[in-house]
Chain A
Amino acid sequence: MVLDKKKALTFQELLFTLQRFWADRGCVLQQPYDVEVGAGTMSPDTFLRVLGPKPVRIAYAQPSRRPADGRYGENPNRLFRHTQLQVILKPPPERVQEMYLESLVAIGIDLKEHDIKFEEDNWEWPVGGAWGVGWQVMLDGLEITQFTYFQQCGGMDLDPICGEITYGLERIAGFLQDVDSIYDIVWAVEPDTGRKVTYGEMRLAEEEQFSAYSFDYADVGRLWEHLNSYEAECLGLLEKAKGFEGMETLELKRFPVLGAYELALKCSHMFNLLDARGAISVTERVGVMARIRMLVVGVAKAYAAQGQMLNEVAKEGVAV
C-alpha cells in the first residue's frame, strides 16, 4: 500500500490545488514577485502587508534564490532556487491549523495513513527585524511546511499578528511522487501523448549555470559596485521619506517606498551572491548585514508611516 504514484499530483497540479484551496478560503492569488528574494517572506506581499492594521489574505508561489545552496545540479536534494507557496492570513483564523491540515488532504495526503507532528521551530530574519514563533510540520519525518505566527516585522510589533504558512513545493512533490531526486519530479504530463516533463528538464540547466555563476564567475568587484549603488539609491529615497510631514497628499501617496524596498532586496541578493562567492570575510559580514538591515528596517518604518498618514488623511476627508 505504498503511495500510488500514478495518482500523485504533478508539480504544477500541486501548485494549482493549493492555490485553489486557499482561494476558496478567501485568499487573493498573487503572482510571484519579480525581484530576487531568498524566501517568500521577503516579497512585499508578506513583508510589507503584514504591517499595519489592515486584514490580509493572500497566497502566491515564490521562487526563492539562495546562491550558497546551489550544488551545480549534482545534489538531488539541494537547490539554488526552490519554490515556496506562501499563504498569509492576517489575522489568523482560529482554526488555522485545521485549515492547513485540510490543505494536505486536498493534495492527496490521507492523514490517517501518515504521521504528522508540529515541532517547535521559530522563524527569524534578523536583517528584516522580523521574527515569529511556530512549527516545522513533519510528515513521516519530512519537513514539508514552516508555520509561523509573525510577531514582529521591521523591528515593529505587529497588531494584529499574522499567520504565515510556507509550503516547500519541491519537497512535497517529491514526497507525493516518491522520487529520490528533485530532478525526477514530474512537473507536467502532456495530455495528448502522456509524455512526462520533469523538474530536471525545466530547471537543471538553471541550477548548473547559476551555481557556476555564483560560485565561480560572478565578478566580485562589480557585485560590490552594484551593492553600493543600490544602497545609495535606497538611502536617497529613505532620506527623502523623512519629509513625509511636509508632503501634499498626492505626493505622499506617490512616494516610492515600494521602490525603496526593491532596492533593499537587490542589496540583499548582491550580498548573497558575494557570500556564495566567498568574497565576504566574517568580519565584513556583520557590517554589511547591518547596512542592509538599516535599509530594510528603514523601508518598513517608512511604509508604516506612509500608510498611517494616508489613513488619517482619508478619515479627515470623510469628516470634512
Chain B
Amino acid sequence: MAEFLFEIGLEEIPARMIAGAQAELERRVVAMLERERLVRAGVESRGFSTPRRLAVTVAGVAERQEDVAEELVGPSAKIAFKDGVATPAAVAFAKKAGVAVEDLKTVSTPKGEYLAATSVKAGRSAAEVIAAELPKELAGIYWAKNMYWRAGKPERFVRPVRWMVALLGSEVVPVEFAGKTAGKVTFGHRVLFGDGEIAVWAPGTYVEALEKAFVIVDVEARRHRIRKALDRATRSVDGLRWREDHGLVDKLTHLTEWASVEGSAGRDSVVLGGFEAAYMELPEEVLVTVMRDHQSYFAVEDKAGSLAPHFLAVLNMEADEAGLEVIRHGNARVLRARFNDARFFWEFDQRVPLVERVKLLESVTFQKDLGSYAAKSERVKKVAAALAGLVVLRGAAVDVVALDEAVVLAKTDLTSELVKEFTELQGVVGGLYARAQGFSAAAATAIYDQYLPKSMEDSVPRTVEGAVLAIADKADTIAGMFGLGLEPTGSKDPFALRRAANGIVKILAESAVALPLTLGEIAQAAAGHKEELVSRLEVFLAERLEFYLREVKGQAYDVVKAVLAAGANDVRDAVARAEAVTSVRGSDDFAAVSAAFKRMKNILSQAGEKGFAAGAVVDGALLTEASERSLAERSAELAGAVKGLREQGRYAAALEAIATLRPQVDAFFEAVMVMAPDAAVRGNRLALLERVLGDFSGIADFSEIVTAGL
C-alpha cells in the first residue's frame, strides 16, 4: 500500500473554475483507482488547489492489481479428447483461456462432462495503470472555457500545463499529458519563493514542502488565513469591522497562493487603506460596488454599521509595514481614480434628469422583435395598472400615483453613464436618481427594487408599489418572449425566464404585505386577450410554484403534487396548504384517510371506464347499509366545519377534522361493496364517494399522498 500524489501545474486558472475542477480531479482519480481495483471503495482522499495548480492525494493504493481468476467452460470432453489425445478443439480452448493443455480440467454438467479451465488475468502494477489511465481522466475534466496552446492543437485545457508531479509512495509515475511528463518537481510562489525547483520526496510531504515555498495548497486553510488576516488588518483602527462577503472571500481564496499568519515577523498579506471622506457623498451602493465588484476590496464599517472610508485589499503577497505602505498607496490611488470616475458619471448624469430620459428609451432596444424600452415601459404600465386595480379592489393600499411614476421612469437609468459603467447597479441608480430629483420615496423605492429578487436567496421588493412593478416587468418579459416562441427548453433558458417567473412566485409568497393576486390574473394581465398564451403562461408559472414549494420550501414531492392538484393559482395559499399537509401527514389517521381517498378515486375511475354512472346527488333512501349511512351523515356534518376552517385559512385544523373521518371511512370499506349489482344502489354509492372527495379535496388531493407502509 502506498499513498498517491498527483499535481498538475498550470498558468493561472480562472478563479471561478477552481473549486469545481479540484473536486472533479479528486473524484476522477478516486473513481479510476477504484475501477482499476487499486483502492477499496470509500478510500481516503484529499483535493488541493491554488490558482496555479490542482492536486489530489489518495491513501492506501495497492502496488499492483490482484490477479483475477475466471472459470471458463469449454467444449464437451467427448469432442476435446479422442483416445486421450487433445483435439484441435481442446488446443483452441486452452489457448483462449491462456493455460497449457495439461492444465485443462473437466466439470460435470447436466449435459455431460465438459472441459474447463481457470484463466488468470495478471494484474498490472499501479504505476502502469495510472500512467495509462490518468491522462484520459485529465482530458475529461470539464472547463467552462478552455484553450489550445501547442502547435498542431493536440489538446485543449483551461490554461497551458507547465508541470506535473505524480508520486506513488516515493516512486515517480511518469504520467504523460499535454507534452509534459510527470516527475517529482513542483514550483512555489512566483515572487515570494521565486523560480527554484522544489522536489517532493513523498506524498506525505507535499503540503509541507509547498508551505515552505509560500504556497498553501489546502483551500480551507488558505481561506481561514485570509479571514484572520482581514481581522488583523481591520483591528489596526479602533472600532472598525469588515463587511462579511462570502463570495468575495471565496474569489480571493482562489486568486492567491499564500496568506500570512499572525506574527510572521511583522509581515502581512492584507492591507487596510483609506479614501477621502469627500467620496462618502456618493451613494453607498456605488462605493461598495466599485470596491467589491471592480477592485475585489472589502468594504469596512464602523461600530454603528455605517460604511467607513476604508477598504481592505487581499494580496497574493506579504510584506512588512513599509512594504505594505507601498502597496496600500497603489491600491488607494486606483480606488481614488475609480471613485472619481463614478463621481464624474453621477454629476454628468444629473445634467439630464430622469424625466427627460424617458424619450431616450426609444433608442434603447429591449429585444429586436419586442421593440425599445420605451415600448416595454408602455406595456409594463398597462400590466401594472391592471394588477394595481385588482389589489386596490381587494382592499390593499397602493400609491397609484407613485407606482405610475415608477413605471414610467423605471428603465431610464439604462441611459445613464453610471449604469453603463456599473451595469449591476441598474434599478438601484434609477432609484437613487429619482430620490435626488425629488420624486416620492414610494416611487424611488419601487424603481430601486424593481429587479428584485435576483435569485432565490435574494430579498423581495420592500413595498407594494415595488412588488407590483417588479411583477409587471417580469411578467411582461415572459409574455413577450413566449409570444415569440422563445420559451426555455430543457437546460436552455437564455433570457432567464425561469428566474423571472421564480421571482414572481417568490414576491407573491414573501412580500411584507400580502398581494391579493393569483398567477392566473398575472398571466391574464401580461398576455391580454391571447387566450392560448395566457394558458401557456399559467402552466409555466405553476411549474415555478412547484419548484418554489419543493426547492425553497423543502416540501416533499407528493405533498406538492397533492396541494397543487387542489389549486395552483394562489401562491400564498398553496404555501400555507403545503405546510398544513406536511404538519399532519405523519399521523396514522391522516395516512389512513389519504389511503382511503386514493381508493375512492380509483373506484370512481374504474366505474367511469366501465360506464357506470354516479347519481346526481346522494339519495338517503338508497343508503342501505349502516356504515354507508354513517359515512354520509358524518361527512356531511364535517363538510360544513371543514369549509369554515378552510375559509379562515386554518388548514391544519381542517385537515385534522378530515382525519377524524377515519372510523367511518374504514367501516365503509369494511362492509360496503361500492360496485353493487343494482344500478341505483351503485350509482348512489358512487355519488357518495364523489361528494366526499369533492368536499375534502379543497386543500390537497390526498390521493396523491404517498402512504407506503400502511
Q: Knowing A159-B151, A282-B363, A283-B368 touch, does A117 contact B14 (C-beta < 8 A)?
A: no
Interface string of A138-154 (1 = CB under 8 A from B): 01111000000101000
Query: Most chain-A CB neighbours within 10 Å: which of B190, B295, B364?
Result: B190
Determine the distance from Cα of A97 to Cα of B148 in the docked complex, in whole angstroms: 16
The minimal Cβ–Cβ distance linking B432 to chain A, given in whole angstroms, is: 21
Judge whether A141 and B330 touch: CB under 8 Å.
yes
Cβ contacts under 8 Å, B334 to chain A: 140-142
Judge whether A141 and B145 touch: CB under 8 Å.
no
Cβ contacts under 8 Å, B277 to chain A: none
Q: Looking at the complex, which one of B160, B255, B340, B368 makes contact with A117 (CB distance below 8 Å)?
A: B255
B323 interface contact, C-beta 8 A: yes
Interface string of B223-263 (1 = CB under 8 A from A): 00000000000000000000000000000000110000000
Judge whether B145 and A133 touch: CB under 8 Å.
yes
Judge whether A135 and B12 touch: CB under 8 Å.
yes
Cβ contacts under 8 Å, B169 to chain A: none
Judge whether A1 and B322 touch: CB under 8 Å.
yes
Q: Knowing A114-B327, A180-B333 touch, does A77 contact B191 (C-beta < 8 A)?
A: no
Determine the distance from Cα of A101 to Cα of B190 in the docked complex, in whole angstroms: 10
A103 interface contact, C-beta 8 A: no
Determine the distance from Cα of A3 to Cα of B330 in the docked complex, in whole angstroms: 9
Query: Most chain-B CB neighbours within 10 Å: which of A71, A114, A141?
Result: A141
Tell me how many residues of B have a C-beta within 8 Å of chain A: 51
Judge whether B327 and A133 touch: CB under 8 Å.
no
Which residues of A in the span 237-292 have a Cβ within 8 Å of any Cβ on B? 281-283, 286
- B295 and chain A: residue at smallest CB distance: A141
- A90 and chain B: residue at smallest CB distance: B151
Q: Knowing A98-B195, A149-B149, A282-B363 touch, does A119 contact B15 (C-beta < 8 A)?
A: yes
Q: Knowing A149-B147, A159-B152 touch, does A77 contact B340 (C-beta < 8 A)?
A: yes
The minimal Cβ–Cβ distance linking B324 to chain A, given in whole angstroms, is: 10
Cβ contacts under 8 Å, B330 to chain A: 114, 139-142, 175
Cβ contacts under 8 Å, B303 to chain A: none
Cβ contacts under 8 Å, A119 to chain B: 12, 15, 255
Q: Looking at the complex, which one of B147, B159, B317, B365 makes contact with A283 (CB distance below 8 Å)?
A: B365
Judge whether A2 and B11 touch: CB under 8 Å.
no
Judge whether A111 and B191 touch: CB under 8 Å.
yes
Judge whether B151 and A91 touch: CB under 8 Å.
yes
Judge whether B326 and A3 touch: CB under 8 Å.
yes
Cβ contacts under 8 Å, A98 to chain B: 195
Determine the distance from Cα of A3 to Cα of B324 in the docked complex, in whole angstroms: 12
Q: Knowing A2-B326, A140-B330, A282-B372 touch, does A114 contact B365 (C-beta < 8 A)?
A: no
Which residues of A in the span 143-196 have a Cβ within 8 Å of any Cβ on B? 149, 151, 157, 159-161, 175, 178, 180
Q: Looking at the complex, which one of A78, A97, A115, A139 makes contact with B11 (CB distance below 8 Å)?
A: A97
Cβ contacts under 8 Å, A135 to chain B: 12
A118 interface contact, C-beta 8 A: yes
Judge whether A160 and B151 touch: CB under 8 Å.
yes
The minimal Cβ–Cβ distance linking A82 to chain B, given in whole angstroms, is: 14
A76 interface contact, C-beta 8 A: yes
Interface string of B350-366 (1 = CB under 8 A from A): 00000000000001110
Determine the distance from Cα of A281 to Cα of B374 in the docked complex, in whole angstroms: 13
Cβ contacts under 8 Å, B153 to chain A: 157, 159, 161
The minimal Cβ–Cβ distance linking B74 to chain A, given in whole angstroms, is: 54
The minimal Cβ–Cβ distance linking A289 to chain B, given in whole angstroms, is: 13
Determine the distance from Cα of A67 to Cα of B336 in the docked complex, in whole angstroms: 24
Q: Knowing A151-B147, A159-B153 touch, does A113 contact B335 (C-beta < 8 A)?
A: no
Query: Most chain-A CB neighbours within 10 Å: which of B51, B145, B333, B364?
Result: B333
Judge whether A140 and B327 touch: CB under 8 Å.
yes
Judge whether A180 and B15 touch: CB under 8 Å.
no
Cβ contacts under 8 Å, B317 to chain A: 114-116
B40 interface contact, C-beta 8 A: no
B341 interface contact, C-beta 8 A: yes
Cβ contacts under 8 Å, B149 to chain A: 92, 149, 161
B599 interface contact, C-beta 8 A: no
Which residues of B in the span 15-35 have a Cβ within 8 Å of any Cβ on A? 15-16
Judge whether B191 and A112 touch: CB under 8 Å.
yes
A120 interface contact, C-beta 8 A: yes
- B12 and chain A: residue at smallest CB distance: A118
Cβ contacts under 8 Å, A209 to chain B: none
Query: Most chain-B CB neighbours within 10 Å: which of A92, A132, A282?
Result: A282
Determine the distance from Cα of A160 to Cα of B344 in the docked complex, in whole angstroms: 44
- B195 and chain A: residue at smallest CB distance: A98
Judge whether A140 and B147 touch: CB under 8 Å.
no
- B315 and chain A: residue at smallest CB distance: A115
Q: Knowing A1-B325, A141-B331 touch, does A118 contact B313 (C-beta < 8 A)?
A: no
- B311 and chain A: residue at smallest CB distance: A141
B57 interface contact, C-beta 8 A: no
Q: Looking at the complex, which one of A75, A122, A141 makes contact with B335 (CB distance below 8 Å)?
A: A141
The minimal Cβ–Cβ distance linking B39 to chain A, given in whole angstroms, is: 34
B496 interface contact, C-beta 8 A: no
Judge whether A76 and B337 touch: CB under 8 Å.
yes
Judge whether B326 and A114 touch: CB under 8 Å.
yes
B329 interface contact, C-beta 8 A: yes
- B319 and chain A: residue at smallest CB distance: A113
The minimal Cβ–Cβ distance linking A50 to chain B, given in whole angstroms, is: 13
- A74 and chain B: residue at smallest CB distance: B344
Determine the distance from Cα of A113 to Cα of B313 in the docked complex, in whole angstroms: 15
Q: Knowing A114-B327, A140-B331 touch, does A286 contact B344 (C-beta < 8 A)?
A: no
Judge whether B16 and A120 touch: CB under 8 Å.
yes
Determine the distance from Cα of A209 to Cα of B323 in the docked complex, in whole angstroms: 42
Chain B residues within CB distance 8 Å of chain A: 11-12, 14-16, 51, 145-153, 159-160, 162, 190-191, 195, 255-256, 295, 297, 313, 315-317, 319, 322-323, 325-327, 329-331, 333-337, 340-341, 344, 363-365, 368, 372
Can you name 5 A-B pairs with beta carbons within 8 Å?
Answer: A1-B326, A94-B160, A101-B190, A118-B51, A135-B12
Chain A residues within CB distance 8 Å of chain B: 1-3, 71, 74-78, 91-92, 94, 97-98, 101, 111-120, 122, 132-133, 135, 139-142, 149, 151, 157, 159-161, 175, 178, 180, 281-283, 286
Given A77-B341, A141-B334, A149-B147; 7 other pairs, CB 8 A cutoff: A101-B190, A115-B313, A115-B317, A117-B256, A120-B12, A122-B145, A282-B365
Q: Which 10 A-B pairs have the closest CB atoms?
A: A140-B330, A120-B14, A118-B12, A282-B365, A141-B331, A115-B315, A160-B151, A141-B334, A115-B317, A1-B322
